[in-house]
């Protein structure tokens, strides 16, 4: 895939019968590799009905945060109180240069059932691009807003969205030498944060399954470490088992059937893998070096990992059975925490060089290395399910860790919408 998003405005509406007869290339086309990219101006007036203003606000925030859209200040709107049953007055929206327009209506029935109808319009082509309806419980209105955001994002970029997702992470509090770490989860926009552990022991490196609402994480106590599997829907929590040594760095295979992790014995750390159905595990590396941070390729045939077998921490790729290990990082500096992208085309990593830390990406063969961020301490990238955005933790000297995001081009770097200290983020798959 090229690093290029083209915004097509098609004449056909998704839900209209006999659509897609003659998809016309529209005038809007954005190449996100260009340094001078202009985000697409969009207007999202408050939806009619209960919670309508809040739903529009969630959509607006999502689109703005992606960096690909520039929501227009509602104070500039000329047409007010749009009715979903009629076409908008396109001239009014052209006047304020809104390229896209999202309007909608919310109804709540006597049983508390929430229904949201919305339409996405190409203002300059004067065409409806989307017309959809979502129904849920009324307390679920934020998820409906995220699903609308995903539909708009997908329609305008051609790629799946990532807004109806959650992030599991480590919430940090306390000072630097007595830090309390709690497993926590929130919506990707920072809403609905909640704790999953009580902070009485250290937790680290939670990772989402890419197929289910299940996470794996490491717990560290003075008497040793454990890797847990935790099903967020059922609340069931179980240990991966006892391995006669420290265990850490767990990560699911993309089909969710295996967990790769590290076991340390006598100072030597190797990569192991456990089949979750049979509960059998095997050791994949046996080098007397540090072998850690394993991450499966999406097709499950390969594993990228971190090893200092060459003298300093570098990135390697091996077959999923542990054979054929080869080094892929060759730049100057130390490379760590490789994470295969959900699309398979990149491996993201942490790089330490020249007193700074970077989040970067390279091809699985090690080519096309690009550093996306630079700071005192950036670490631990996680991919949004569409492979377009990465979240990571950043620390300033002496400061608390914060969650940040960067898009895969490195152009859009910003703090994640979580106002407190957090580290080790892991992005969920799209919710069902």
Partner 1 sequence: MTTTTLTKRAAQFAVIALAAASVTACASRPKPDTMTPAPTAPPPATQPAPPPAPVTQGPLPGTQQDFVINVGDRVYFDFDSYAVRADAAPVLEAQAAWLNRYPSVMVRLEGNADERGTREYNLALGARRANAVRDFLVSRGVSSSRITTVSYGKERPIDPGTSEAAYQRNRNTHTAITSGAR
- Segment near partner 1 (CB under 8 A); pick from 37-45, 148-156, 199-207, 320-328: 199-207
Of the residues 2, 177, 198, 432, which one makes contact with partner 1 according to CB under 8 A = 177
Of the residues 220, 232, 400, 431, which one makes contact with partner 1 according to CB under 8 A = 220
Tell me if 336 contacts partner 1 by CB under 8 A. yes
What minimum distance in Å lies between the beta carbon of 141 and partner 1?
36
Tell me if 395 contacts partner 1 by CB under 8 A. yes
E strand or H helix at 40: strand 40-43
Output 157 or 225, the one with its CB closest to partner 1: 225
Contact between residue 45 and residue 82 where contact means Cβ atoms under 8 Å apart: yes
Task: State the number of CA atoms in the 13 A half-sphere of 31 facing the CB.
Answer: 5
Tell me if 325 contacts partner 1 by CB under 8 A. no
Of the residues 105, 122, 189, 264, which one makes contact with partner 1 according to CB under 8 A = 264
Output 72 or 391, the one with its CB closest to partner 1: 391
Output 115 or 268, the one with its CB closest to partner 1: 268
Contacts of 261 (CB under 8 A, 6+ apart): 227, 240, 247, 248, 249, 250, 251, 271, 272, 273, 274, 294
Contacts of 255 (CB under 8 A, 6+ apart): 211, 300
Tell me if 53 contacts partner 1 by CB under 8 A. no
Tell me if 386 contacts partner 1 by CB under 8 A. no
Q: At what angle do helices 52-65 and 141-157 cross, to 10 degrees?
A: 40
Q: How many CB atoms lie within 10 A of CB 430?
A: 18
Of the residues 53, 96, 246, 431, which one makes contact with partner 1 according to CB under 8 A = 246
The site that binds partner 1 (CB under 8 A) totals a number of residues, namely: 42
Q: If you compute the radius of gyration of the chain from its CA atoms, what whole number of angstroms results? A: 23
Contacts of 198 (CB under 8 A, 6+ apart): 182
Structure tokens at 7: 């915004």
Nearest to 424 by CA among 208, 254, 270, 231: 208
Output 112 or 398, the one with its CB closest to partner 1: 398
Output 232 or 353, the one with its CB closest to partner 1: 353
Tell me if 352 contacts partner 1 by CB under 8 A. yes
- The residues binding partner 1 (CB under 8 A) are 175-177, 179, 181, 202, 204-205, 220, 222-225, 246, 248-249, 262, 264, 266-267, 269, 290, 292-293, 306, 308, 312-313, 334, 336-337, 350, 352, 376-377, 379-380, 395, 397-398, 423-424
């Amino acid at each position: 895939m090229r690093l290029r998003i083209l915004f097509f405005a098609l004449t056909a509406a998704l839900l209209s019968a006999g659509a897609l007869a003659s998809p016309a290339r529209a005038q809007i086309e954005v190449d996100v590799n260009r340094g001078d990219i202009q985000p697409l101006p969009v207007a999202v007036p408050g939806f009619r009905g209960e919670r309508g203003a809040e739903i529009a606000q969630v959509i607006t925030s999502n689109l703005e945060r992606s960096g690909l859209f520039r929501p227009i200040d509602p104070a500039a709107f000329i047409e007010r109180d749009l009715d979903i049953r009629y076409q908008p007055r396109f001239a009014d929206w052209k006047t304020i240069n809104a390229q896209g327009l999202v309007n909608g209506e919310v109804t709540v029935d006597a049983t508390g059932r929430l229904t949201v109808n919305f339409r996405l319009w190409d203002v300059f082509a004067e065409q409806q691009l989307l017309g959809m309806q979502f129904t849920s419980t009324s307390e679920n209105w934020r998820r409906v807003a995220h699903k609308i955001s995903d539909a708009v994002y997908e329609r305008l970029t051609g790629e799946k969205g990532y807004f109806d997702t959650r992030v599991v992470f480590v919430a940090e509090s306390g000072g630097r030498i007595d830090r309390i770490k709690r497993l926590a989860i929130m919506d990707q926009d920072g809403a609905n944060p909640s704790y999953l552990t009580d902070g009485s022991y250290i937790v680290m490196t939670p990772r989402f399954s890419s197929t289910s609402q299940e996470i794996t994480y490491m717990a560290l106590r003075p008497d040793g470490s454990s890797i847990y599997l935790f099903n967020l829907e059922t609340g069931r929590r179980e240990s991966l088992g006892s391995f006669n040594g420290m265990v850490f760095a767990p990560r699911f295979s993309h089909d969710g059937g295996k967990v790769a992790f590290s076991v340390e014995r006598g100072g030597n750390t190797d990569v192991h893998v456990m089949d979750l159905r049979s509960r059998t595990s095997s050791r994949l590396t046996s080098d007397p070096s540090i072998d850690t941070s394993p991450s499966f390729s999406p097709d499950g045939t390969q594993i990228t990992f971190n090893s200092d077998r060459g003298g300093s921490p570098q990135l390697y790729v091996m077959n999923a059975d542990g054979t054929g290990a080869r080094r892929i990082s060759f730049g100057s500096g130390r490379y760590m925490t490789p994470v295969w992208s959900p699309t398979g085309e990149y491996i993201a990593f942490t790089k330490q060089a020249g007193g700074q830390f970077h989040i970067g990406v390279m091809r699985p063969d090690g080519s096309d290395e690009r550093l996306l961020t630079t700071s005192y301490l950036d670490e631990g990238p996680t991919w949004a399910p569409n492979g377009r955005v990465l979240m990571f933790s950043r620390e300033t000297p002496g400061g608390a860790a914060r969650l940040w995001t960067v898009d895969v081009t490195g152009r859009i770097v910003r703090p994640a919408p979580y106002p407190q200290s957090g580290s080790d983020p892991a992005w969920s798959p799209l919710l069902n």
